[in-house]
Amino acid sequence: MVGSAGGPEKKRRLLEEFGYDAAIDYREGDLEGQLAEAAPDGIDVYFDNVGGDHLRAAIGAMRTHGRIALCGAISMYNATEPVPGPDNLHLAVGKRLTLRGFIVGDHYDLFGEYAQRAATWLAEGSLRAEQTVVEGIDHAVDGFLDMMRGANTGKMLVRLGS
């Protein structure tokens, strides 16, 4: 399993604390090169939260019949001009790739089961989760901007009074 994070400290934590086999620091650039080094035989599944350069690198590294879950495209949210799609999408044909989007709201019927199972995993320690907490609604915008900049580690939360 290969993870991507911004900065050497977050990369280190992916490897040493979160159980990834290999990690990429996307702020270093050359995503294709880093991914080739991390997964020299290619990848079968890519979970896309980023779009843009990450999606392009993943399509390039996908193996035949690989699958891409399209969850988000955070690298494009602040773009001030239209962002072109990955320029290597044609590779999906020869590789017979599947790209499928999904929305969490389609699966709210499973929320109870998820909460129960995830609570157990968290308690056991088999699922690790972190939070960065901003205090007070007055700092909600700062928290949001920090999240977009990657100043958070884990889920960015706003605490509303006590």
Per CB under 6 A, residues contacting ligand NAP are 5-6, 10, 26, 49-50, 71-75, 102-104, 147-148, 150, 152, 155-156
Q: Which is nearer to ligand NAP, 115 or 148 (CB)?
A: 148
Instruction: Select the residue whose beta carbon is closest to ligand NAP and give its number.
Output: 72
The minimum distance between CB 96 and ligand NAP, in angstroms, equals 24
Q: Which is nearer to ligand NAP, 20 or 26 (CB)?
A: 26
Q: 47-56, long-range: CB within 8 Å, 24+ apart, which pairs?
A: 47/71, 48/72, 48/73, 49/73, 49/74, 50/4, 50/26, 50/74, 50/75, 51/75, 51/76, 51/83, 52/76, 52/83, 52/86, 53/26, 54/4, 54/26, 55/86, 56/31, 56/32, 56/86, 56/87, 56/88
Q: Which is nearer to ligand NAP, 45 or 148 (CB)?
A: 148
